[in-house]
Amino acid sequence: MSPEKKATRRAWIATPLLAAVLLLGWAGFAPVSVPSRDELFEIPKGTYARRMAGDKVEILPSQIRLTLGLNDVLLLRNLDDVPQVFGPTIMMPGQSFRLPFEKASSYDFACTAHASGQMTVLVEPYPAMPWSKIRWRFFKWWENRTT
C-alpha cells in the first residue's frame, strides 16, 4: 500500500475516533445546567371530567426524574376545575404546589391526576463525576427525544 493510501486510511479511522473522544470529553467534563430548578407539570382543565368519562389517558408521566442541584423542585399546577390530591397535599383549582427535594431517593405518591392513582418521583444525586454527567446528558437527550 502506498504511503498516501495509508495516510488516507489512518485519517478515515482517526477522524471519527477523535470526534467520539471529543464528544465524550465534552459530555463528561462540560458543566451541566438546566434553565430552572423547577420541573413544572400541569394538571389540565377537564382532567377530572375525562377521568369520570372513562378516559384513562395519562396526563402526567408515571415517573418523574429529578436531579439534586439541577432540577430538584417539583412544581405542580392544578388547572382543573376540581381539587386534585398529589401525594402529600390537596391542591385547589388554580393552586400550585412547589415541593423541593434535598435527598436522592425514590418517592412514591398518590396522585388523583393519574389513572393508576400513583406517581413516582425519582431524585438522583448531582452528576459530579464525568461518567454520571454522560449518563445525565443521555437521559436528558432521551427524555427530549420521547416527549
Partner 1 sequence: MIRRTVLLLLLGSGVAFAAPASNDPDSGAMKAGVLSPVMAAPEIKLQGSDGQALNLARYRGKVVLLAFGFSSCGEVCPITLATLAGARKKLGEAAANVKVVYVTVDPERDDAARMKKYLASFDATFVGGVGSRAEIDAAQKSYGISSTKQVYPDGNYTIGHSSSIYMIDRAGGLRAVMPYGHTVDDFVHDLKILLRQ
Interface with partner 1 by CB under 8 A: which residues?
25, 28-32, 68-70, 72, 83, 85, 87-92, 94-100, 102, 107, 110, 126, 128-130, 133
Closer to partner 1 by CB, 12 or 26: give it.
Answer: 26
End-to-end CA distance of the chain: 50
Q: How far is the CB of 15 from partner 1 (least distance, A)?
A: 21
State whether residue 65 is helix, strand or coil: strand
CB of 12 to partner 1, least distance (A): 26
C-alpha cell at position 1: 500500500
Polymer length of the chain: 147
Minimum CB distance to partner 1, residue 100 (Å): 6
Three-state DSSP state, 74 = strand
